[in-house]
Amino acid sequence: MLVLSIETSCDETAAAVVRDGRTILSSVVSSQVLIHAEYGGVVPEIASRKHLEMISPVISQALRDAGIVMADIEGVAVTRGPGLSGALLVGFSAAKAIAAARKVPFVGVHHIEGHLLAAFLEQPLEFPFLALVVSGGHTHLYHVEGIGRYTTLGRTIDDAAGEAYDKSAKIMGMAYPGGALIDKLSLSGNPAAVALPRPLMHDGTLRFSFSGLKTAVLQHVAKHPLTVPSQELNDLCASFQQAVCDVLAFKTEAALKQTGARRLVVAGGVACNSGLRRRMAQLCDKMQINLSIPAPSLCGDNAAMLAVPGDYYLSNGLASPDSLDVTATWDMDSIKELLP
Ligand code: KG4
Ligand code: ZN
């Protein structure tokens, strides 16, 4: 099946054409990051307006890059949630309109479901597996038994890992979103230079907490004002990155032991992080676990990832009804209740 997929949940307008939920024919991502950087975070109203401006050109580009025309599309997959309602509505309305005009089915997909299945665009994977999803809004461990069959094992009780990266970067004087820059600077820093907490690491659960780590960075910067650039900044970045990776690796190891899973998928924007990729590779090497972390272009927000579940649902008669609406919040565990 030739699926057109569309993503507008936050600050990226994206469209892709994917064959059989596995082969990417095109993937176009138009980022608004520079626009929101000026405000230190995503401004929902601006995001919606920018999506409105970019949605048609991005879809046209995706069709052109794939060497096809709209009439070739056999189904449409689109992010239904979670995300900013106004932003979601732009992609969702476009998807519905295309599906109605072309008389093809459409399906509303969970954004995180796209992230955790993006690895299928690179290689076939076997179920079940453990998934660690780390993004701007999520830090979740899922037991994945099949497409649509997700059980949350643990999640953050406050900030997500990406949120902690971006908020800490802001405290250190970096532009939004600073996650990738902390990663880059940490390569030249000493991870043992600043003593930072590992919140909830030894609480015996699979819960995460990152807001205390951000507060510790704030307190450190208040006591030791930073010069930019400086070795002190690099050291603080490296120490922060080490703390985040310690917690993520520790809890992932605990979840692997608890579930007995033999495969691990790490996904979401923070999965681009060089320290996390290295730590997960070491962990999986030690535990003889099969590890999949998609290439960075498939970890960040993109539309191709939505076509993996999208193609599955459309091919199995699970298209969405015309009346379906977007949703700002959506529990992944509830998806299995919709399956036959
Ligand atoms: O998945 P994503 O693109 O969007 C959401 O669904 O949230 O993730 C974005 C998050 C941001 O917080 C960004 O700072 C973070 O991923 N990120 C990184 C890196 N690249 C992106 N965090 C740490 N290290 C990176 N290299
Ligand atoms: Zn995302």
Q: What is residue 139's three-state secondary structure?
A: strand
- Using the mean position of ligand 1's atoms as its centre, give its distance from the Cα of residue 272 in Å: 7
Name the closest-CA residue to atom 2, ligand 1.
269
- The closest-lying atom of ligand 1 relative to the alpha carbon of residue 184 is 26
Residues with CB under 6 A from ligand 1: 10, 135-137, 162, 165-166, 177, 179-180, 183, 268-270, 272-273, 300-301
Query: How do residues 222-251 score in pLDDT, each as one tens digit?
Result: 999 999 999 999 999 999 999 999 999 999
Residues 90, 8 contacting (CB under 8 angstroms): yes
Pair of tokens at residue 298:
């498939």
Per the rule left: phi > 0, alpha: psi between -120 and 50, beta: everything else, 21 is left
Sketch out the chain's domains with CATH numbers: 2-117+298-338 (3.30.420.40), 126-293 (3.30.420.40)
- Using the mean position of ligand 1's atoms as its centre, give its distance from the Cα of residue 177 in Å: 8
Give ion ligand 2 contacts, CB < 5 A.
135, 301
In degrees to the nearest 10, what's the CA dihedral of 179, 125, 140, 15?
Answer: 60
Helix spans in 67-187 (H): 85-102, 111-117, 161-171, 179-186
Output the pLDDT for position 338: 87
Query: How do residues 164-198 score in pLDDT, each as one tens digit?
Result: 999 999 999 999 999 999 999 999 999 999 999 99
What is the best residue among 165, 214, 273, 276 to mutate for testing ligand 1's pocket, by most ligand atoms within 8 Å of CB? 165
Above 90 in pLDDT, residue 270?
A: yes
Query: How do residues 57-77 score in pLDDT, each as one tens digit?
Result: 999 999 999 999 999 999 999
